[in-house]
Amino acid sequence: MKTAFVTGATSGIGRAIALELSRAGYEVVAAGRSAAALQALAADGITPLVLDVTDRNAVRQALSGLRIDLLVNNAGIMPPLANFADAELADIDAAIAVNLSAVVALTRLAVPQMRERGSGHVIFTGSAAGHAAFPNMAVYSATKAGISGFAAALRADLAPHGIRVTEIVPGRVETALYQHILDPEARAAMYASKSVQPEDVARMVRAVVELPEWADVTRFDIMPTRPATPVSR
Q: Which of these, 125, 217, 139, 212, lies nearest to 171 by C-alpha position?
A: 125
- What are residue 219's phi and psi, to 5 degrees? -160, 140
Q: Which of these, 195, 193, 157, 189, lies nearest to 175 by C-alpha position?
A: 195
Give CA torsion, residues 190, 191, 194, 195, to 10 deg: 70
Residues marked active site are found at 140
Kindly provide the b/e burial profile for residues 5-23, where b requires at least 16 CB atoms within 10 angstroms of the residue's own CB: bbbbbbbbbbbbbbbbbbe
- What are residue 192's phi and psi, to 5 degrees? -65, -40
